[in-house]
A and B are shown apart, each in its own frame.
Chain A
Amino acid sequence: MISQSVVNELKKIVGPEHLLTEREDMLTYSYDAAVLDSQMPCAAVMPGTSPEVGRIVALCHENRIPITVRGSGTNLSGGTIPESKGIVLLTGRLNKIIEINEQDMYAVVQPGVVTASLAAAVEKRGLFYPPDPGSQAVSTLGGNVAENAGGLRGLKYGVTKDYVMGLHFFDAQGRYVKTGSRTVKCATGYNITGLMTGSEGTLGIFDEIILKLIPAPIARQSMVAVFDTIDAASETVAAIIAARIVPATLEILDNFTIRAVEDFSHAGLPVDAAALLLIEVDGHPVVVAEEGEKVESLCRKMGAKNIKRAETDEERDKIWAARRSALSALAKLKPTLVLEDATVPRSKIPEMVRALQEIAKKYQIDIGTFGHAGDGNLHPTILTDRRNTEEFKRVEEAIEAIFDKALALGGTLSGEHGTGIAKAPFLEKETGFSSILFSRQLRSALDPHNILNPGKITGVSK
């Protein structure tokens, strides 16, 4: 519990209407989108200005109160599940786009700005902010940076970390730190911007984020290729990359997912296909036309039995609507959905896809696989009912088997969802203990009282 005097102080900082302490409200900040146990905090504060944020952090430092920052709570690794003795800091009111600079092509935003709203705002000016995590309609940029979120365009355009030019943040004691700059190049000091990106709220609390923008591509070409075997599809992915073509998006759907999407949206997908590849190339019109041809003939050579190009914008939208509804369609099948994001070097995609099928069989569970095949980031999606404890145990075993396989193939536990609570216990497998120790030491030096999102990433530090 936090003391009444701290509650009063918080109230003074943000105003009574922006401090929540009732048990009902605490329940609503006890979870995020990960399938994990929930945990109620003691209070939730909604600051409206940066000085308020600074004062909240300083107060918590003084009183050794854990802080978990929460944007839209769409985290898939439990990064926003708070500590029971801590508070939740909500960024909902810190949602201003401070600047969009067309000349120098960057944007400065507060952490609570919703990803899609920045993307729309810059698009109006002919610019492009490429990272597009699946939850972009609700996810916040603060959360994207804290998790180093990815998306469908990772293959060609990279992920959030490739767009963070600079950050202003409060350290664990509430002191203001500036890192990076508004320039394309910056070689002063440590690359703290890089360190903070993906730090999951454990090293500091963002105040302002400077993001790189790029010119919007002029032309795009989308297509769907249908395959009889998932091996042929995944080998095609490897072949496209080997041919030195980098599509903006290169997604795979397995048969289980195709059937779920078709049942749900009646989009006319071939339900007997073993796999689909959804591909988009973009850029200069001439290049797009040439690469489109090449990809098509490659797909044919690799055994695609049917290829359909989108001739109009509507046809293009239809293709991507089908992809976007994959998760929804799967979600409707069973109450609980565990979305994994183990990632492998892309040449290993065929092997990983085979392994996933074996794992589903071995543990007798339903796994729908779709995802960003082009960058090696698959989303094996396990459908279950958490209330069925016997089955859920098998699910947990299967998840571990997926992790082991990804690591054995030289991959990583998480491509884009973060470590959080969910993967913290497995991190040692990937990095070895000394790497965790290094992180823990770094962390305890910067946050001596361990108040910044404790329990995440490095496990419970001693």
Chain B
Amino acid sequence: MKIIFFAVIISMFFSACSEKKAPVLAPEYLFHEEGQKVITSLINDKIGTISIIYGNEGAFRSALDPVKNHVSGERYIMVTWKQKPMPHWYGTDMNGPIISVETVITRSDQAGRVSFDYSSALCNGKLLDSKDKDHNHRARFIADQPAAVFP
């Protein structure tokens, strides 16, 4: 009885050996900058992108504030990746390569009015055209997103 079972198991082993396709890891798709926390994430299926908005402490505080009183010194970084189908699971899209990194910094003038400095670059620092001709509008879009709910 044991021998039979053994033979069956062994034969199963041989037939179960299918070709293994090892994945090629792509660390260049990771984004990192010290001291940044995740404010929220954003999917856009119309243009096929997926993004994360990060912020420094000031930006994070403002993202949690329902009335969004921006103050000087907030710094936001919106990283956008191209979407791609997740390998091995039909039903999910995930991030592929990074396509842009947009930065917004708030400053205030002597009268206390807050303005938004906007710049857009590839992750290698190459400047890009903004997604929105109106930089101020784009900056406000990034800086005004409410924080995603975390436990």
The answer to whether A and B assemble together is no
What residues make up the interface of B, taking CB atoms closer than 8 Å to A? none
Residues of A within 8 A of B (CB): none
